[in-house]
Amino acid sequence: MNTLFADRKYIIGGIFLVACVAFIIRMFYMQLIDETLKLDASNETFRHITQYPPRGCIYDRNGRLLVTNEAAYDIMVTPSLIKDFDTASFCNDLGITKADFIAGIKKAIVQNTAYHASVFMKEVTPEIYAAFQEKLYKYHGFTSQVRTVRRYPMKVAPHILGYIGEVDKELCERNPDYREGDYIGISGIEESYENDLKGKKGVRIMMFDAMNKEVGDYKSGKFDTLPITGANLTCTIDAELQEYGEKLMQNKAGSIVAIDPETGEILTLVSSPYYDPNMMVGSVRAKNYAKLLRDSIDVPLFNRALMAMYPPGSTFKTIEALIGQQEGVLNENTTYTCPGGFHIGNISVACDAVHGTLKLEKAIAFSCNTYFCNVFMSIMNNKKYSSTEEAFNAWRRYVTSFGIGIHPDIDLPSALRGSLPTQNYYDKYHGAGHWKAATIISLAIGQGELGVTPLQLANQAAIIGNRGYYFVPHIIKSVGDKPTVKKYATKHYVPIDPQYFDIVADGMCDVMNEGTAAASKIPGIIMCGKTGTAQNPTGRNNSLFIAFAPKDHPRIAISVVVERGGQGAHWAAPIASLMIEKYLNDTIKRADRETRMLEGNTIQYLADEKLNPKPNRKKKHNSTGQRTAAVGHKHKDE
Amino acid sequence: MSDRRNNIVPHIDWFSISIYGALVLIGWLNIYSAVNNPLHPSIFDFSQRYGKQFIWIITGFVMALLVMASDASFFSVFAYPLYGITVLGLIAVRFVGRDIAGSHSWFRIGEIGIQPAELGIFAINLGLAKYLSNEKKASDLKKIRLVAAAMVMMPMLLIIIQNETGVAVTYSAFIFVLYREGLSGNILLGGFLLITLFILALVGNKIILSAILAGLALMGFLLFTRRKVKDLTKIGGILVFCLAIIFGTNYGFNHLELHQKKRIQVFLQQNVNNSKEGYNLHQAEIAIGSGGLYGKGYLQGTQAKLNYVPAHATDFIFVTPCEEWGFIGAAFIVILYFVLIVRLIFLAERQRSVFSRIYGYGVASIFFIHVAINVGMNLGLMPVIGIPLPFISYGGSSFWAFTLLLFIFLRLDADRLQILR
């Protein structure tokens, strides 16, 4: 038999060989060719757990904490692990209904399957969590995860600080640094300094076993990265002054911007109405945001200090005075006679008084419209230039150098440029060659097509205070240990010789001593100011004021706008003077002034106006919305 | 006697023993890695499977020594009694055995579990070898076939009754032995065709399959026969038989146990839910695939260790070397087995004694069928059948069984020169 079937050993061996080769080919395919299997393995075993770094804190210029982090707890659920428990008590602890509970579980399953942990409830406050956490062991399938949310200990400066919120899908696709559910700064400093504040996320690679139980770190954390805390920022705001400013602006619409002229640092930036920044935190944000957004009368989310555009009114006369001198058509001894108004052709600009014959200093002090209309005429009809257009363009370049009509390079998002008409604009509006100095005379008194933001107004005050230069206003002093970028440490000069500023400063000083804002004089402080009462086509005049103090080497430059406040001297000037007194003296001696300002309410006019809109007033030659004041009708100014 | 025992040492096939040793070591190290309990880091910790496997290995070595120390003729002489004891054991276990997940196949003595179906396979092999090696007259061929078939089928049936279909399947290894000893190749081919037909009938369209077969039959009749009535009935008979299988497949399939049906469906990739019945295989494939060329490194595997792969110390132990040692390591193990099996065939063929040769073929075939089914199911080439990988899977009963199988043959082989033809 041995010899008979001996050849069969080859057949048997052959069968064994075929099996062996088949296995090796199969392993070759599975281990070296089929990449999906490798991917599946790491997907099911490794979980990349993001370690969220705390966002950087924000301090004021004196080291007071403005924004900090606070723990909040995400309640997580793994639906497959839920066992019977007292849902009534569970819902009660978290303050939700049974329907919410069921909906939450369903959502988790749809989003992330029943076998993986998903967020059940976001950002539960420590107060609620404390009670819940005691019973957490009973609620099988539920765990918690700590996150940080923003907290604002001083409750000030919501518009400056901004807020954070979840990133949108679109950004996640664009920027791999963000994943859905991450937070990002949406406005204010939170937005503009996002890259410094956010820090760097860490990743912890955890291994999970088949029962979805955490087993430990992959290779003892060799491939993990630690989160890097966001940089702390020191902003230029004086929190105490900001808080005081906000108090003064309560029940008023408008803004206060105060700048340190020596550095360009913004000391205060109030936009009123404002809100408590803590409203925009955690689980209540969505609800509060919608509420603030719906408020179309107060528009509290609108940052007036950077975005609202007001005709500067008489505050603009200071610039007019400087340009006139630099152009050689005006000096401190130039006199004009005021008969109570300026008339040329069929155009007339009223003055609120018969000022008689006055020089430049007094014209500023009493804000004489006639005087400055004459100055404007002389600038526009300067023999130096062959045409009004040329003179206008020269004038426009001066105005632009003050930062008007151009974007401020501020480190806050969404600042606007205001409005400064161009030759092109007038050529279109009136027809090329069909307009003269008289046509655009309203510019002389800061009306017409001019529009400036409170930030630009404050910077204008700083330029005059510095006698001709400014630093770009900015909000951040230092990021971590590094001071802010160089561009904020560079002096910008306006093309007006320093000696021309003195007479303007003298005039502004007179404003406080004997002029339009004499009632807001601060005992012991030599302060320079200029009122503005800007016409408003839809309602009461806006009350404006710019100032700096002390007169020489000023430490603070300020602009105040109170919408619908009436005359500049009524609201804006007293508020500015209180702010300056607070900043320079730290105490307020004029208690009656302070009380009147704190209790004053001008927002009612805004509300009235919005609820009962008046039919548009007839405007003489003003059909564009941009023109906020008309020249022809009786123009009143202080 | 004593001088002869001393004499066998140079005749022992140390090559086979080296491969055996290598496989045992690989198995033990892999069990340590697969089970790896960080609370019990010592590989000698007897509360853990790797510690216990060490005990099974040492006791296995003792058994091997005893086998080598015994007289070679013992196994020939006691072949029938050992066969008988095994069959009795298979019957007894049905009544005395512990019920483990619906199967009554284990005797349990304290910590130690003995599965006679597994452990006794060497005795069945001895019995068959003994019977077939007896000089017989050619006229008794029919009877010899019948008895030989019965000697294999009887224990198989007893095992099926114990609900250990998987172990029973390994007894089909003897078909290679019978083939080597003269069984018609048609039976082997027929068996292969039967399985192919069964799979095709489950996967494909029965009508088309039948039409193809009918066409083939007609072609065969017209081209390769003399077109006699005898040929027609022969071919017609085969055709009818095949058609019966095709259309009987569903009936047979539906009468399988649910888990068996599922396993076949998983193998054929029909209606498989990877989180239910397909989970085991899917996870094993993922783990194997994740190994890549060089693997993740010893003790660095994740899939098996973290329980994604079930039975990762026993039926799916092969996953761990695939994951940790990669394609290179896994292919090395497969080649090691192949070399061992081919070596055993070589040894069997050099036997002067028919008994030793038949027994040797039995050992090679049993190893082959275990490796083929186990590795095949790990790789998704076979339906999942719960049988161990020789020398590597955790478990005392199977380790002893394979060790006994091998060393009895090595003892017979060491004695080969003493046998006169």
User: What are the backbone angles phi and psi of residue A254, rounded to the nearest 5°?
Assistant: 150, -155
Q: Do A5 and B181 touch (CB under 8 A)?
A: yes
Residues of A in contact with B381 (CB under 8 A): 22-23, 26
Q: Does A12 touch chain B (CB under 8 A)?
A: yes
Confirm if B340 and B20 have CB atoms less than 8 A apart.
yes
Rounded Cα distance between A532 and A530, Å, is: 7
Return the higher-pLDDT residue of A540 and A484: A540
**CA A455-A460-A463 angle, 5° bins:** 125
Other beta carbons less than 10 A from residue B243's beta carbon: 17
Are B338 and A31 in contact (CB < 8 Å)? no
* More confident call, B119 vs A538: B119
Which residue out of B299, B336, B379, B381 would a mutagenesis test of the A interface target, given it has the greatest number of A Cβ atoms within 10 Å?
B379
Are A266 and A237 in contact, with CB atoms under 8 Å apart?
Answer: yes
pLDDT for A72 equals 83
Q: Decide: A596 and A565 in contact? Cβ < 8 Å.
A: no
Confidence category of residue B6, pLDDT binned at 50, 70, 90: low
How far from chain centre, in Å, is Cα A514? 37
The answer for residues whose C-beta is within 8 angstroms of residue A592's C-beta and 6 or more apart is: none
Alpha carbon of A97: minimum distance to chain B alpha carbons (Å): 33
Grouping H, G, I as helix, E, B as strand and the rest as coil, residue A474 is strand
Cα separation of A398 and A173, whole Å? 45
- Top residue of B334, B367, B369 to mutate, by most chain A CBs within 10 Å, is B334
Q: What is the pLDDT of residues B148-176, one digit of tens each?
A: 999 999 999 999 888 888 889 999 999 99
- Cβ atoms of A304 and A613 within 8 Å: the answer is no
**Contact in structure between A253 and A304 (CB atoms under 8 Å):** yes
Domains (ranges, CATH) in chain A? 42-64+154-235 (3.90.1310.10), 72-148 (3.30.1390), 239-280+290-540+566-611 (3.40.710.10)
Q: Which residues of B touch A29 (CB under 8 A)?
A: none
Q: Which residue has the higher pLDDT, A327 or B243?
A: A327
Percent helix, percent strand, percent coil in chain B, to nearest 5? 70, 5, 25
pLDDT at residue A99 greater than cutoff 50: yes
Higher pLDDT, A323 or A482: A323
Q: Looking at CA atoms only, how far is residue B259 from chain A in angstroms?
A: 22
pLDDT number for residue A237: 94
Q: How many residues does chain B have?
A: 421
Residues of B in contact with A218 (CB under 8 A): 302
Q: Containing H/E element for A583?
A: helix A572-585
- For the record, the structure tokens of A456 come out as 């630009």
Tell me if residue A562 falls in helix, strand or coil. strand
Give the DSSP H/E element, type plus range, for residue A531: strand A528-534
Q: Grade residue A176 by pLDDT with cuts at 50, 70 and 90.
A: confident
Q: What is the pLDDT of residue B321?
A: 92
Residue of B nearest to A46 (CA): B302
CA dihedral A609, A610, A615, A616 (to 10 degrees): 90
Residue with tokens 């099926």: B160
Q: Check residue A634 and give its pLDDT.
A: 37
Rounded mean pLDDT, B235-248: 83
> Is residue B286 less than 8 Å (CB to CB) from chain A?
yes
pLDDT by residue (tens digit) across A235-285? 999 999 999 999 999 999 999 999 999 999 999 999 988 988 888 887 777
Task: For chain B, say whether A10 makes contact (Cβ under 8 Å).
Answer: no
pLDDT of A425 reads 93
| In A456-505, beta strands by DSSP E | 469-471, 476-479, 482-483, 491-493
Interface probe for B, chosen from A1, A9, A11, A16 (most Cβ of B below 10 Å), is: A16
**A10-64, pLDDT tens digit by residue?**
989 999 999 999 999 999 998 888 877 777 777 777 777 777 888 999 999 999 9
> Can you tell me the distance from the alpha carbon of A384 to that of A328, in angstroms, rounded to the nearest whole number?
10
Interface probe for B, chosen from A10, A27, A37, A206 (most Cβ of B below 10 Å), is A27
Distance CA A292, CA A298 (A): 9
Interchain pair A31, B285: CB under 8 A: no
Residue A184, CA atoms < 13 Å, CB-side half-sphere: 17
CA distance A211 to chain B (A): 8
Cβ neighbours around A480 below 10 Å, total? 12
How far is A166 from chain B, CA to nearest CA, in Å? 34
C-alpha to C-alpha distance for A130 and A144, rounded to whole angstroms: 12
Q: Which DSSP letter does residue A203 get?
A: E
β-strands A542-549, A528-534 pairing: antiparallel
Please name every residue paired with A337 in a beta bridge, in sequence order, or none if there are none. Answer: A357
Which among B303, B345, B372 has CB closest to A12?
B345
Q: What is the DSSP letter of A638?
A: -
The answer to whether residue A33 neighbours chain B at the CB level (below 8 Å) is no
Give the integer Cα–Cα distance in Å for A246 and A271.
Answer: 8
Residues with Cβ within 8 Å of residue B101, at least 6 apart in sequence? none
- Which residues of chain A neighbour B379 with C-beta distances below 8 Å? 23, 26-27, 30
Out of A22, A28, A37, the one facing B285 most closely (by C-beta) is A37
Q: Enter the tokens of residue A142.
A: 């539920």
Give the Å distances, CA to CA, from B180 to A238, B345, B364, B373: 100, 11, 12, 21
* pLDDT tens per residue across span A439-476: 899 999 999 889 999 999 999 999 999 999 999 999 99
DSSP three-state, residue B37: coil
Interchain CB contact of B291 with A (< 8 Å): yes
Q: What is the pLDDT of residue A624?
A: 35
> B67-100 burial, b if ≥16 CB within 10 A, otherwise e?
bbeeebeebbebbeebbeebbebbeebeeebeee
Which pLDDT value is given to residue B278? 73
Distance from CA of B278 to the nearest CA of A (A): 15
Q: Does the distance separating the beta carbons of A34 and B289 come in below 8 Å?
A: yes
Q: Is the pLDDT of residue A82 over 60?
A: yes
Q: Does A169 touch chain B (CB under 8 A)?
A: no
Who's near A10: CB < 8 A, 6+ residues apart? none
Per-residue confidence (pLDDT) for residue A61, from 0 to 100: 93
Cβ pair B334:A20 closer than 8 A: yes
pLDDT digits (tens, 9 = 90+) for B21-74: 999 999 999 999 988 777 788 888 888 889 999 999 999 999 999 999 998 889
- With CA atoms as reference, the chain B residue closest to A28 would be B327
Q: What pLDDT is recorded for position A327?
A: 93
Report the pLDDT value the prediction gives residue A121, as an integer from 0 to 100: 85
Establish if A210 touches chain B: CB-CB under 8 angstroms: yes
Q: Which of A120, A80, A115, A124 is nearest to A102 (CA)?
A: A120
Residues in chain A: 638
Q: Which of B181, B289, B341 sits opposite A38 (nearest CB)?
A: B289
**SS3 for A171?**
helix
Mean pLDDT of B311-323: 88
Q: What is the pLDDT of residue B206?
A: 80
Of B182, B334, B335, the CB nearest to A5: B182
**Distance between CA atoms of A634 and A630, rounded to whole angstroms?**
9
Percentage of residues in chain B having pLDDT higher than 70: 93
Would an 8 Å CB–CB cutoff place B159 in contact with chain A? no
